[in-house]
Amino acid sequence: MDDILGDNLPPFFYDGTNNKTSIDIVISRRNIFKLALAIALIVISYLVFSRPNYPQLIPHMDKVGHLGSFFCLSYLTHLAFKPRWQYLALTLAGYAVFIELVQSTLPYRSASVGDFIADMAGVMLFYLSHWSYLRYFRAAKLPESE
């Protein structure tokens, strides 16, 4: 999975075999994923705290947004930090609770246990997908990219 950028990395990407320079450290894969995670957190926070200015044509469609957002946050956090699954799940559960607490204080938003459940379903879906991915590579006896 770390090989998302490919085998033929430009010289400014640190691949673990060359001597590190300051530019190599700044533009490492993990740092790119950390930046992507920070951007995702900013965008998701903006979306969940701002006033919705769009009609909700399909009931409970926001649950799909919660599930997808937390799937992406789980994926990016995994790529950026490689935490144990318990720490990742606990951290994202804390963020989900924080979102719901803030939404409960906003006059144009409301807190929902269903949103929290959708958030945690996104985390579980990531881990189910990741487990299936790793299991496939082991069964196929292909070298894992992790």
Contacting residues for 63 by C-beta, under 8 A, at least 6 apart: 114, 115, 118
Q: What is the mean pLDDT of residues 90-109?
A: 96
Q: What is the pLDDT of residue 17?
A: 57
Q: What is the pLDDT of residue 97?
A: 98
> Whose CA is closest to 95, among 49, 30, 60, 29?
49
How much of the chain is helix, strand and coil, in % rounded to 5?
70, 0, 30
**CA triplet 77, 80, 86: central angle to 5 degrees?**
45
| pLDDT single digits (tens) 9-44 | 444 445 555 556 556 567 888 999 999 999 999 999
Query: Does residue 1 have a pLDDT over 80?
Result: no
Q: Are 122 and 68 in contact (CB under 8 A)?
A: yes
Q: What is the pLDDT of residue 144?
A: 60
Q: What is the DSSP string of 2-55?
A: GGGG-SS--TTS--SSSPP-HHHHHT-HHHHHHHHHHHHHHHHHHHHHSPP-S-
- Spatial separation of the C-alpha atoms in residues 126 and 108, rounded to whole Å: 30
Residue 114 zone, left/alpha/beta (φ > 0; ψ -120 to 50; rest) = alpha
- Spatial separation of the C-alpha atoms in residues 22 and 131, rounded to whole Å: 35
| pLDDT single digits (tens) 46-64 | 999 999 887 778 888 889 9
Q: What is the pLDDT of residue 117?
A: 97
